[in-house]
Chain A
Amino acid sequence: MKTPREILLERHQAAAPKLDAIRHEIVNSKFRRGNFAVTIWNELIFPSRRIWAGLAAIWVVIFIFNFSQRDQSELMAKKFPSPEMISSFQQQEKLLAELIGPNEPRVAEPPKTILPQPRSERRFEILTA
């Protein structure tokens, strides 16, 4: 005859080595001094490992999406401009030139020469007037 406790513990005895490994890992990592990476892993990453994995997956998806988009734009850039487009663009440019006229640079007006007058003379003029 056995108690339920004896039955239950015997039934799970096979898990003991794995539980020992978990215990050693926790005790060694939690109380190992000066190991910053282990502390970060245990306190920041491991408790919410699924969230971190989800975030990583999202970043991978964004990266893949971004990479695929960039490839397409590069292909498009290689395709353009086609010879037909270049010729039509040149025709439009000629037409525009005929409508506007020759594109000559304007002659700039010569700057006005303003001779500076001494302030003392200006005052004299006011006084005599």
Chain B
Amino acid sequence: MAESEQLPVQSARDGNPAAWNALFRRYQLPLYAYVFELVHNEQQALDLVQETFIAAVKHIGGLRDDEKFGSWLFGIAHQKIIQFWRKRGGKELLLDEIPESPDELENQPDEFLIRREQETEFMELLNQLPLPQRSVLLLHFVEDFSLAEIARITETQTGTVKSRLHYAKKSLRTLLEKKNENAA
């Protein structure tokens, strides 16, 4: 998991440029991938990553647990994305009506391996998911964040994250299976 890595967070907090460089280099591509897949605009995604990094430098004093740097950074980016959607008049990220059914979610195979020929289809199907589900699934895929971490990043309940992840995976599997059947 991302949070178990040894990251130079304390050194960055002390104002060491090399530590910030290492932290940003570690997270820049996953963060960009997450932001891009939610905004679908290269320049906007780059701007949001830049704003996230600037905010991280400014507010590092507010981070209490150094091991949670990754989820904290993604949380800043998530807030920036919500602001972006609000400016555009969209509310999809904030509201969705997925019923919570935790009992149903227990027996889920967690691995998701994609064949090379399915990569493009996988991305297309991922982008067909509603934004709240896509957001949760991306956080799970890109950094393998735990349910609690995703809940903290998206500022939602763990149960909500659990159900969103369940429905997102289910939808993705169903869509991939349909594609396979059609291909066969």
Contacts and interface: CB of A to CB of B under 8 A. Distances in A.
A22 B53 contact: yes
B32 A12 contact: yes
Chain B residues touching A, range: 35 or more
A31 B20 contact: yes
B147 interface: no
B21 A46 contact: no
A91 to B, nearest CB: 67
A19 B77 CA distance: 15
Prevailing SS type, chain B contact patch: helix
Interface string B11-25: 000010100110011
Interface in B27-82: 28-30, 32-33, 36-37, 42, 45-46, 49-51, 53-54, 57-58
Interface of B: 15, 17, 20-21, 24-25, 28-30, 32-33, 36-37, 42, 45-46, 49-51, 53-54, 57-58, 112-116, 119, 122-123, 126, 138, 141-142, 144
Interface of A: 1-5, 7-9, 11-13, 15-16, 18-20, 22-24, 26-28, 30-31, 42-43, 46-47
